[in-house]
Structure 1
Amino acid sequence: MSAFASYSTPVPTDPAVDALVAALPKVSLHCHLIGSVAAGTVAELAAKHGVPLGRSAEELYDHHSYEDLGEFLRVLDVVGSVIRDVDDFHRVTYESLTAGGAAHGVLYREIQLSPPGHPDVPYPRILEGVLAGIADARADTGVEARVVVGINRERSGADAVELVEQVVAHRVDEVLGIGLDYAEVNGPPGRFVEAFRLAGRAGLRRTAHSESGPPRHIEVLLDDLGCDRVDHGYHVVDDPAITARCVEERVPFNCTPVSSDIGRYSGSGDGTHHRIREMVDAGLVVTIDSDDPPMFGTDPTHDYRVLAHALGYGRDQLAAITRNGVEASWLDDTDKAALLARVDALVAAIPDPTDAPTEPEEAVR
């Protein structure tokens, strides 16, 4: 559990489970760069650029207030506004991938980058800093990373097209695809068909957030936007036919236990994570990540820890989720095979605390 953690539902203490989740290799497909900035870094960047925060670093992230998505997005926009120059983007990317990634066993991350969250910062400047941070994090820790560029769905379809045009015009190998974030209720997916089709023609992969919309939105993402995975998507299990389709097509769902529980998307906010259990039990391809870690008082290790306790998952079940992350990643087949081999080697060295030792035969008699 990180120093930032302040989870709303108490999590049992179990040294064996803690050791398991700390050692578990992780694949990170749903972590926003803006949302992964430590409060202390936000305060330092705000001071650097003369931006008054109106609160201390200790008070910046009020985890429990994020049951209100609007309040969370307001704070997110404040954080984005203080990340302005190449050095800033280098710093926050490096910190996210090292202290917020490799230190928790993250081997690979597809960073969710939201250029609209950085007002008046040109996309090439953002990209320059992010790519430098990725390179230095790889050199120092071995963590690998790529980029998913997020569209702000609260803006217009024309804005979305313009952003995709920027991505295509400044195409680099590290940018694998696009996403769709911010409040689903304010930006239904059908508004962004043109932007997503443009991305598809350019060979970019596609995903989108779907937290609160009806199950029908999942079909829109798959059929109209051309997405091959879904961020969140807990409501899919409300429709058996759509669930069956996603099982058959192995559509991955990138779930975030702590943030979604606080926001009451994945359940009732009581820490049971029953939606994620239903998704796994239905046979859906589920991955786990930490969304906006310090903002929700979590980290990659803690999200796995919470799930292990809530659902009773041991090493093999948690490792299967990591392997789902390899499958769901947008790496090519060669890189996926290499990443999977690393995951399997690390998992094999981890004892499973849920395996009860067998009593000696003499003791049984």
Structure 2
Amino acid sequence: MSTFAHSTPTPADPEIDTLVAALPKVSLHCHLLGTVAPGTVVDLARKHGVDLGRRADELYDHGSYEDLGEFLRVLDVVGSLVRDADDLHRITYESLTLGGADHGVLHREIQLSPPGHPDVPYGRLLDGVLAGARDAQADTGISFGLVVGINRERSGADAVALVEQVVADRRDEVLGIGLDYAEVNGPPGRFVEAYRLAGRHGLRRTAHSESGPPAHVLTLLDELGCSRVDHGYHVVDDPEITARCVEERVPFNCTPVSSDIGRYSGSGDGTHHRIREMVDAGLLVTIDSDDPPMFGTDPTHDFRVLAHALGYGAPQLAAFTRNAVEACWLDDGDKAALARQVDELCAPLLADAPAPA
């Protein structure tokens, strides 16, 4: 379990703590570099002779990440320290075990950003990540897939080149592509060619849409061919787009703690009102932890925060996990097996839940 202080403290409530700890979880929005614990960063810096100038407990300044640029700068520093197969194995293994299975995560689709590892060739990057992921699966039973992230602050041509690499070195575990970094610096329309190339080769598609207008959601669906959206809180600002997404059961992968700090899902006030509006509108919402240690959270804490802020109990928290099963990119057989596992683990939690008023 996590050993760092949470950036969003919640009142002591043993009943909620017991519930969220026991809740099975399916992780669809968690960046590999964002899961590197501070102690691991310090170890990697020491290994590679880099002076960070900070202690482990000073490494991640959660509050400063209201400025997305500052957060991305720290993310890039961490990426620069992950340089060889052992480093990749370690951070992936820890992401899926200490940061995953230990919190009840049954399946994680890891968001991997090759541009964040400028000195590691794509094939070597995959080899190291897959070695760590397979060992984690063998030790804990957690299943996994990879989502290759495009840095939207780079050109459309760079995006096409990355997709060409993915296609040329196709691995079964690479399920699809994503689009990350600052949306304001890379509107989704820039990446139509790359996404269509990915679609022609059978890759699934998602994209971050955390700060743009609701119309960006339409671009993701109609031009990029996305089957789910990362964040997407602004969708509720347009009733017509919301209604379409409800009808088509478009999944929205929400990250309460990081998005609140970044002022995307509640203006930093801890109300998480955007997520409430999305749920109340009938949208297919999933919950994950984005870049957990960097934002002072973990897969359990994000559920804890919503339980306290929005009054959600076992039925709604379990629904988030069931939504994630529906939204995941496993094949039909593996998805059905995951659904059965989730239902089995949720059954006692729902049996103990108070009857609705």
Aligned to 1:361: none
What are the Cα deviations for residues 288-325 of structure 1, in whole angstroms up to 9, with x where unaligned? Answer: 00000000000000000001111111111110110000
Correspondences of 1:32-71 after superposition (within 5 Å): 32-71=31-70
Correspondences of 1:333-352 after superposition (within 5 Å): 333-350=332-349
Q: Return the offset for 1:116.
A: 0.3
Q: Return the offset for 1:47.
A: 1.1
- Whole-Å Cα distance in 1 between the matches of residues 50 and 133 of structure 2? 26
- Whole-Å Cα distance in 1 between the matches of residues 250 and 347 of structure 2? 27
What number of residue pairs does the alignment pair up?
357
Q: Return the offset for 1:354.
A: 5.2
2:218 counterpart of 1:226: no
Q: Return the offset for 1:355.
A: 1.4
Which letter does structure 2 place at the counterpart of 1:179? G
Aligned to 1:286: 285
Aligned to 2:270: 271
Preserved CA contact (<8 Å) 1:17 1:353: no
Aligned to 2:243: 244
What is the TM-score when the length of structure 2 is the normalising length? 0.98
Q: 1:40 to 1:295 in 2, by over 3 A?
A: same
Which letter does structure 2 place at the counterpart of 1:6? H
Secondary structure in structure 2 of the residue aligned to 1:119 = coil
What are the Cα deviations for residues 306-351 of structure 1, in whole angstroms up to 9, with x where unaligned? Answer: 0111111111111011000000000111111100000000111226
Q: Return the offset for 1:11.
A: 1.4
Which letter does structure 1 place at the counterpart of 2:297? T
**Cα RMSD between the aligned structures?**
1.4
Preserved CA contact (<8 Å) 1:29 1:110: yes
Q: Return the offset for 1:357.
A: 12
Which letter does structure 1 place at the counterpart of 2:342? V
Preserved CA contact (<8 Å) 1:287 1:322: yes
Aligned-residue sequence identity (percent) comes to: 80
- Whole-Å Cα distance in 2 between the matches of residues 351 and 203 of structure 1? 37
Q: 1:191 to 1:357 in 2, by over 3 A?
A: closer
Secondary structure in structure 2 of the residue aligned to 1:112 = strand
Secondary structure in structure 1 of the residue aligned to 2:349 = coil
Aligned to 1:308: 307
- Whole-Å Cα distance in 1 between the matches of residues 188 and 3 of structure 2? 36
What are the Cα deviations for residues 101-157 of structure 1, in whole angstroms up to 9, with x where unaligned? Answer: 000000000000000001121001110011101110011000001000000000111
Secondary structure in structure 1 of the residue aligned to 2:92 = helix
Correspondences of 1:1-365 after superposition (within 5 Å): 2-8=2-8, 10-350=9-349, 355=354
Note the residue ranges of structure 1 that are not aligned, 5 or more in a row: 359-365
Which letter does structure 2 place at the counterpart of 1:224? E
Secondary structure in structure 1 of the residue aligned to 2:146 = strand
- Whole-Å Cα distance in 2 between the matches of residues 103 and 253 of structure 1? 24
What is the TM-score when the length of structure 1 is the normalising length? 0.96
Note the residue ranges of structure 2 that are not aligned, 5 or more in a row: none
Q: Return the offset for 1:51.
A: 1.9
Structure having the higher Rg: 1
Preserved CA contact (<8 Å) 2:2 2:98: no
Q: Return the offset for 1:2.
A: 3.1
Which letter does structure 2 place at the counterpart of 1:17? I
Q: 1:23 to 1:172 in 2, by over 3 A?
A: same
